[in-house]
A and B are shown apart, each in its own frame.
Chain A
Amino acid sequence: MQILYFAWVRQKIGLAEEQVTPPEQVRDVAGLIAWLAARSPGHAAAFADPKQVRAAVNQEFCAPDAPVAPGDEVAFFPPVTGG
């Protein structure tokens, strides 16, 4: 599973992307966040308040209950501020 981070989520984690293999019980975005948060202090800081983090699965905005599967591209980032 390819994970991408943007904006302050990227800064706190210290990575723009990483390849991960979560255990089978990680089935949705919320579960993935909980699992990723345990990887490092930076991850824990980035995901300390999951409500502040938005997600996209395969480049589509997704809610926390959206399913994730091996091979997906999952991105985490703050609410968008373009325009």
Chain B
Amino acid sequence: MATPTIRVQQDAFDPGAEIAGLAAGRTDVGGIASFSGVCRADDGLRAMVLEHYPGMTERALGRIAAEACARWPLTGCTIIHRVGRLLPGDPIVLVVTASAHRMAALESCAFLIDWLKTRAPFWKHEELADGSTRWVEARAADEDAAARWAAA
């Protein structure tokens, strides 16, 4: 079973390098899927500050990744989530999954981002162009997306 890579960091990441890394030095990988989440400039967003729960965040992400590895025959799995202040256009999150075949990679990638959005302790605080700030509210659609994978 794959050993997931979990990173919570302020710094930017290189999706290309992370994707290549899951195939490097091995010949059993047939498909690699990735999801990149990007900071979107809705409603005059000037910046977004991502807060998290150090310690619990890594545990929660590790558990979600372990669940993906148990459900699909993955050869590799990487989750990187940024924290701190991000600007529109900045990457926020990266999920990469690798497997012998495409379906396991694609499905597990979708599963990971769906569960991450509802089961990992991050909170987004938005700074708007008029100087006001607001906390992003959880969306029912995210709960529905996570629920389609059914609870373990």
A contact residues, range: 10 to 19
Main secondary structure of the interface of B (DSSP, over half): mixed
Contact check, A4 vs B122: say whether CB atoms are below 8 A apart: no
Tally of B interface residues using CB under 8 Å: 28
Which of A23-31, A32-40, A43-51, A73-81 faces chain B?
A73-81
Contact check, B53 vs A81: say whether CB atoms are below 8 A apart: no
**Which one, A6, A81, A83, contacts B137 given CB within 8 A?**
A81
Q: Known contacts being A78-B123, A80-B121, is A59 close to B136, with CB within 8 Å?
A: no
B21 interface residue per 8 A CB criterion? no
Distance in Å: Cβ of B112 to nearest Cβ of chain A: 10
Contact check, B117 vs A7: say whether CB atoms are below 8 A apart: no
**Which one, A7, A56, A79, contacts B51 given CB within 8 A?**
A7
Q: Which residues of A contact B (CB under 8 A)?
A: 4, 6-8, 56, 59-61, 75, 77-83
Q: List 16 A-B contacts (CB under 8 A).
A: A7-B123, A56-B56, A56-B121, A60-B56, A61-B119, A75-B121, A78-B135, A78-B138, A80-B120, A80-B138, A81-B124, A81-B137, A82-B50, A82-B52, A82-B124, A83-B37
